[in-house]
A and B are shown apart, each in its own frame.
Chain A
Amino acid sequence: MSPFSLTLGTTSHRFSSLSELMAKATPRRSGDELAGVGAASAEERVAAQMLLADVPLSRFLEDLLVPYEEDEVTRLIIDTHDANAFAPVSNLTVGEFRNWLLRYETDAPLLAALAPGLTPEMVAAVSKIMGNQDLVLVAQKCSVVTAFRSTIGLPSRLSVRLQPNHPTDDPKGIAASILDGMLYGCGDAVIGINPASDSVAAVSTLLHLLDDLIHRFEIPTQSCILTHVTTAMRCMAVGAPTDLVFQSVAGTQAANNSFGISLSLLREAHDAARSLKRGSVGSNCMYFETGQGSCLSANAHHGLDQQTCEVRAYAVARAFSPLLVNTVVGFIGPEYLYDGKQIIRAGLEDHFCGKLLGLPIGVDVCYTNHVEADQDDMDTLLTLLGVAGCNFIMGVPGADDIMLGYQSTSFHDSHYLRQALNLRPAPEFEEWLEKMNIVHQGKHLIPVAPNHPLLPEN
């Protein structure tokens, strides 16, 4: 394929490959500079964006950024591409595709029909030339609805993953955080625990704890222990009550191998979870997490920028009809996303790209203490994602995850977003909250009586 070049004034900009063009067109972030693939100057970045805007979308089906022979994620992307779905935009360039997406006429049904015709590379490319408001507006047009015991992603709904982590997996400590979240009306996306221990015995104990709670109070939600997929498979084999199977996924085969997974392993886990038929209103039973920088971190990025790698991970997730896909945007640290500005941009990109590819995507709006960010940055990203129609966010007591040592969003944050944007919980969960005297009309918290049935006796 021919190289790309553009002369601006007296400066000639030249890019030798589509990968290089994509990387240098990416809005600035520390991870691409760490990898040595980012633009060397602000002008070079815009030159790359100008050239990228002229690339036909169809070129991404031939000029493969990671070789087909070497990488099963590339093979998945190419082999499952739906040419009929692609037809409405098949003659457009990346720049024309941005215009197409922003037209009044481009609506939710059109975008849903298009999703199987888009590849991650096309979506990553268009996101690179879109501004933050474009990313919000187009994502807002998309609708991706999934279900297990609750229905997630309906219009004007916002769900919350209740994240009741404890540094030693102490069941009483975890239960205390779950009750706190439930009484704040959270947990309709999933009650999902990051365990400290990866043993089958420890994970099974937590699975039973959540299963007992969900059944005792007839809560229309699902549980998940965020352990390695192989541990989940062993738990299912011994009959531990498993609703959702979790796995972190990345955008290249080599990075996935470093996580100890492959597509066939995920297929096996997905089949096992589906066969349990534990969902009541739907059968989406996978929960995936991703995050920009994971491929570089595993030294498996093939010279690509971190955002393109991230969107390729969505192709992996998409193949297993997940209930939830969560981009943990600010967890990885300043060497990948340096400050609040970079985290906000990355969060909007991930959400937009996930939605355009048809994923039920939520965002862990988060940061660590060694990045240049604070609660105000998180408030900004949270608000933007609410406007963009994000399927779900995290709910952590007081936004402080004492097990993983980072700051995410609080139960209170979900009430901020629900009030500010008139968003309600998943319908089944909303009904339960009303019945339990926790929330009134999906929005206002009701003062909890000391003898509330969820509370243990003093």
Chain B
Amino acid sequence: MKSELTVSDPWSHLKQFTAARIAIGRTGGSQPTAAVLDFRLSHARARDAVHARFDSEALAAQLHTSEIPTVFLSTAVPDRTTYLLRPDLGRSLDPASRASLTPSQPGLALIVSDGLSATAALNHACATLVPLIHELKEEGWIISPVYIVPLARVKVQDEIGFALGARFTLMLLGERPGLGTPDSLGAYFTANPNLNCTDADRNCVSNIRPEGITPADAARKLAWLLKESRRLGLSGVHLKDNQAVTIASGQV
């Protein structure tokens, strides 16, 4: 493109300090074509991630390769549009799934959902769970199969954990995609799950993706937090993150 048609900004060296879209230049007072198209591509990827079909069978196959058993459950959500419009429906299981759960009383119940990014669940859930399960099993934790629950919200972990009589539940699900982050996975856990749990009872490790907290690092941090949580008998706002784990409120 002809560069004389646009005005470049002589402060592009400041880009080293931030990922913000600074010094993108201008044509008149408007954004140059390249910047507009770059933005549009980021948004397109985020939109595709939100609407991507969740290949839950593929996720199960990944986990089976590492000899991790899986169980499929369903929420009350019939489709993705309803998922976006009715967060309440994504917080509970459908009756058949609810009836299928028996109190096996695991130390830890594991759950995966596509949430708002199927790409995140498919790309990073297995890589996070395999080392996590390995580390906790070495310390004698009794761990449930991985419950794969499409179109779920975080709170469904309370119902599943309670029905199983689990001591802890840990749920991985795709976070709301940002412009540069279409495949970010979030992890939420709670001690003594029951239907009265609130977000204040949960701990969260967010931004799990190769460019953020890598799945391997996330597994280490989650293992540490779960062990601390078990030692202290609590979770949520009272569990301090001495390991400098990113704890943020989720949008799910």
Partner of B10, one of A165, A166, A448: A448
Q: What total of chain B residues lie within 8 Å of the partner, measured CB to CB?
A: 42
Q: Report A418-458 residues with CB < 8 Å from chain B CB.
A: 418-419, 444-445, 447-450, 452, 455-456, 458
Q: Report B3-44 residues with CB < 8 Å from chain A CB.
A: 7, 9-11, 13-15, 17-24, 26, 28-31, 35, 39-40, 42-43
Partner of A370, one of B13, B42, B84: B84
- Interface pair A334/B84, CB less than 8 Å apart: yes
Partner of A398, one of B31, B88, B181: B31
- Interface pair B178/A405, CB less than 8 Å apart: yes
B177 contacts across to A, CB distance below 8 A: 369-370
- Alpha-carbon distance between A189 and B143 when the two chains are bound, in angstroms: 54
- Interface pair A334/B39, CB less than 8 Å apart: no
- Interface pair B22/A335, CB less than 8 Å apart: no
A174 contacts across to B, CB distance below 8 A: 18
- Alpha-carbon distance between A180 and B88 when the two chains are bound, in angstroms: 42
Knowing A176-B15, A177-B20, the reply to whether A370 touches B116 (Cβ < 8 A) is yes
Identity of the chain A residue whose Cβ is nearest the Cβ of B48 in the assembled complex? A369
A179 contacts across to B, CB distance below 8 A: 11, 14, 22
- Interface pair A335/B17, CB less than 8 Å apart: no
Residue contacts A-B, CB under 8 angstroms, 30 given: A34-B86, A172-B18, A173-B17, A173-B18, A176-B15, A176-B18, A176-B20, A176-B22, A177-B18, A177-B20, A177-B22, A180-B20, A333-B84, A335-B85, A335-B87, A368-B251, A369-B43, A369-B46, A369-B47, A370-B176, A375-B39, A398-B24, A402-B179, A405-B179, A405-B181, A410-B31, A416-B30, A444-B29, A445-B29, A455-B10
B176 contacts across to A, CB distance below 8 A: 368-370, 405
- Alpha-carbon distance between A170 and B24 when the two chains are bound, in angstroms: 21
Identity of the chain A residue whose Cβ is nearest the Cβ of B19 in the assembled complex? A402
Which chain A residues have a beta carbon within 8 Å of chain B's beta carbons?
Answer: 30, 33-34, 164-167, 170, 172-177, 179-180, 183-184, 333-335, 338, 368-370, 374-375, 396-400, 402, 405-407, 410, 412, 415-416, 418-419, 444-445, 447-450, 452, 455-456, 458
- Interface pair A415/B85, CB less than 8 Å apart: no
Knowing A180-B22, A369-B50, A369-B177, the reply to whether A375 touches B43 (Cβ < 8 A) is yes
Query: What 9 pairs between A and B have smallest CB-CB spacing?
Result: A398-B21, A415-B29, A173-B18, A180-B22, A176-B14, A405-B178, A369-B46, A172-B17, A397-B20
- Interface pair A335/B43, CB less than 8 Å apart: no
- Interface pair B31/A170, CB less than 8 Å apart: no
Minimum CB–CB distance for A202 against chain B, Å: 15
B103 on interface, CB distance cutoff 8 Å: no
Which of A167, A170, A452 has the most CB atoms of chain B within a 10 A radius of its CB? A167
Which chain B residues have a beta carbon within 8 Å of chain A's beta carbons?
Answer: 7, 9-11, 13-15, 17-24, 26, 28-31, 35, 39-40, 42-43, 46-47, 49-50, 84-88, 116, 176-181, 251
